[in-house]
A and B are shown apart, each in its own frame.
Chain A
Amino acid sequence: MKGLIIKDLMCLRKMRAAFVFVTVASFVITVMALISARCGNIALAEQEYLTGGTDMPMSPSHMLWYAVAVMVLLPLASIGDSLTLVFEADKNSGFANVAGALPVSVKQRVFARFITLFLTCGTGTIISLLLSFVLSLFTDIMTFGDFTGLVLSAASLIMIFSALEMILIFLLMMKNTDYVRIISLLIMFAVFILCSLGRIIETVRAMKPAELITDGLLFLENRWFILAAAAAVCLLISYFVSAGIAERKWGEI
């Protein structure tokens, strides 16, 4: 089984360059923005906003908070969708034939996929947390605790997304990974709308959509454990469903 995980990670090697680029770029841009917020143009804009010399709807530091939140999550997001890439690579090479002849059970093959997911998502989370730690030294907009909550929430969302992808791939035998991605995103979007329908209607009526984003970010920063619990449940369901289906449909993974 370890060999299959190694193979999956090898499939993701080509993502290395993109991951390093995204991580370095997001780090450099964020640091520059945070320095600017201390003693640069963003700091001047903030002063102007506070003295009422501008008609901006939101303070520059508030907008910076949104931007930093996005930038910190970019490295994690860039490797978040590794699972479908591995499935795609296996499909293109015809690896299923080789895997079927290896001394590994179908359950172990499915389990190996989940371990690959944990490893990639874990790596992204650790790197995002390291970035967060460094960034938290440059700013008062977010504490390291806020950053941590945000990163863990994003990691949980990626896990839920991947758990959905796994179920779609095994249950519906979907071969086209683009469809798998789109359907998983649509499901997550639908769940989000259903869960926060009242708040969405409220902010739309009040014509203050930015409040929805602020609420969302605060939720991600402070309630990450709810998403982590949801991710754990989704992953467990996904594993048992995927392993059960894969065993029934031998040779199809």
Chain B
Amino acid sequence: MEKYTNVIELNNVVKDYGDFKLDNISFTVPKGSVCGFIGQNGAGKTTTIRLMLKVIKADSGEIKLFGEDVKGNAPRLREDIGVVYDEMGFHEFMTGKDINIMMKHIYMNWDEEVFFDYLKRFSLPSKKKCGDFSRGMRMKLQIAVALSHYAKLLVMDEPTAGLDPIVRNEILDIFREFVLEDDHSIFISSHITGDLEKIADEVVFIDGGKIFLQGNKDEILERHGVLKCKKDEIDNISKSLIVGVQEGAFGVDVLINDMKAAAKLYPELVIDRTSLEEIMLFYVASARR
């Protein structure tokens, strides 16, 4: 089980709900990396995560976790996965102590000492009902659970959505600490690209159930740029470089997919660095056109 290079592997995965289709999804997450899964609400992020965990069944395609096919192995593989959802999912009457009692009879590697240490660290009272917790506390409780059974992979669905910047930063610090271990990986879905920019090594962009861009985050940010020009200058720019165009009051912003080539070809034009958010917005807008 240890001899794998990709902690997550999806090959041509299809899930058709009729009104929504996850269409031939393929991507990999290398072992030891943090992968950001970026897309707007309804893009297919949660469905992909549910497929990965084999909570729902794919219509076709292959899904591998830790180098093993999830078919027939999912419950065993989930021993090594910590999952954090955007909503807590624990019963509101449950206290930290109750959750500990439940989980120590579910996970083989559950460590109650680690769990209560996390509760202490996150200032979560172990005797208070989790229904009385704030959103940030609920999220931290889920993270404490996810980290208390020596998981090698953290799968998170919008873990920072709706949290204030201070709590978000605290949570990102916990994730950074988690990936310090060589074989620890994180798959984190979010539409808050700022968080992913801070923490992710790899990024996968999804829209309308289709992956439209994936790769190393730094390479993607280095490659893409926003070229500023006038409306009449667009026609002079090579079509193969243009991802999308956004017209403004004072000119046009053009997202280009090869900043170096564009800088050589059009030295007179200004090319600014871009962000993951801008990349997402331009790609999604151009796909809709």
User: Which residues from chain A sit less than 8 Å from chain B, CB to CB?
Assistant: 1-4, 6-7, 10-11, 13-14, 89-90, 93-98, 100-105, 108, 250-251
CA distance A251 to B49 in the complex (A): 12
13 A–B contacts, CB within 8 A, in A order: A1-B106, A2-B105, A4-B106, A6-B102, A10-B94, A94-B88, A96-B89, A97-B89, A101-B55, A103-B76, A104-B75, A104-B106, A105-B74
Nearest A residue to B89, CB-CB:
A98
Nearest chain A CB to B124's CB is how many angstroms away?
17
**A251 touching B55 in the complex, CB below 8 Å, given contacts A100-B50, A103-B76:** yes
User: Is B55 a contact partner of A3 (Cβ separation < 8 A)?
Assistant: no
User: Is A101 a contact partner of B81 (Cβ separation < 8 A)?
Assistant: yes
Q: Which residues of A contact B150 (CB under 8 A)?
A: none
Nearest chain A CB to B83's CB is how many angstroms away?
4
Q: Which residues of A contact B53 (CB under 8 A)?
A: 100-101
Nearest A residue to B103, CB-CB:
A3
Q: Which residues of B contact A6 (CB under 8 A)?
A: 101-102, 105
Nearest chain A CB to B139's CB is how many angstroms away?
14
**A94 touching B93 in the complex, CB below 8 Å, given contacts A3-B104, A103-B106:** no
B273 within 8 A of A: no
Please tell me the size bucket of the interface on B. 20 to 34
Nearest B residue to A98, CB-CB:
B89
CA distance A96 to B85 in the complex (A): 12
CA distance A3 to B94 in the complex (A): 13
**A95 touching B90 in the complex, CB below 8 Å, given contacts A101-B53, A105-B75:** yes
Q: Which residues of A contact B98 (CB under 8 A)?
A: 10
User: Is B89 a contact partner of A93 (Cβ separation < 8 A)?
Assistant: yes
Contact of A7 among B50, B57, B83, B102 (CB under 8 A): B102
Nearest chain A CB to B241's CB is how many angstroms away?
42
Is chain A's interface secondary structure helix, strand, loop, or mixed overall? helix
Q: Which residues of B contact A102 (CB under 8 A)?
A: 75, 78, 106-107
**A98 touching B55 in the complex, CB below 8 Å, given contacts A2-B105, A3-B104:** no
CA distance A95 to B89 in the complex (A): 5
B91 within 8 A of A: yes
CA distance A102 to B92 in the complex (A): 19
B79 within 8 A of A: yes
User: Is A250 a contact partner of B78 (Cβ separation < 8 A)?
Assistant: no
Q: Which residues of B contact A89 (CB under 8 A)?
A: 91
User: Is B102 a contact partner of A101 (Cβ separation < 8 A)?
Assistant: no
Nearest A residue to B94, CB-CB:
A10
Q: Which residues of A contact B91 (CB under 8 A)?
A: 7, 10-11, 89-90, 93, 95
User: Is A13 a contact partner of B93 (Cβ separation < 8 A)?
Assistant: yes
Q: Which residues of B contact A96 (CB under 8 A)?
A: 89
User: Is A97 a contact partner of B85 (Cβ separation < 8 A)?
Assistant: yes
B184 within 8 A of A: no
Those of B126-165 within 8 Å (CB) of chain A: 155
B56 within 8 A of A: yes
Q: Which residues of B contact A93 (CB under 8 A)?
A: 88-92
Q: Which residues of A contact B50 (CB under 8 A)?
A: 100, 251
CA distance A4 to B90 in the complex (A): 12
Contact of A97 among B76, B87, B93, B104 (CB under 8 A): B87
User: Is A250 a contact partner of B75 (Cβ separation < 8 A)?
Assistant: no
Q: Which residues of B contact A7 (CB under 8 A)?
A: 91, 102
Q: Which residues of A contact B78 (CB under 8 A)?
A: 101-103
Nearest chain A CB to B143's CB is how many angstroms away?
13
Q: Which residues of B contact A90 (CB under 8 A)?
A: 91
User: Is B79 a contact partner of A103 (Cβ separation < 8 A)?
Assistant: yes
Q: Which residues of A contact B90 (CB under 8 A)?
A: 93, 95, 98
Q: Which residues of B contact A103 (CB under 8 A)?
A: 75-79, 106-108
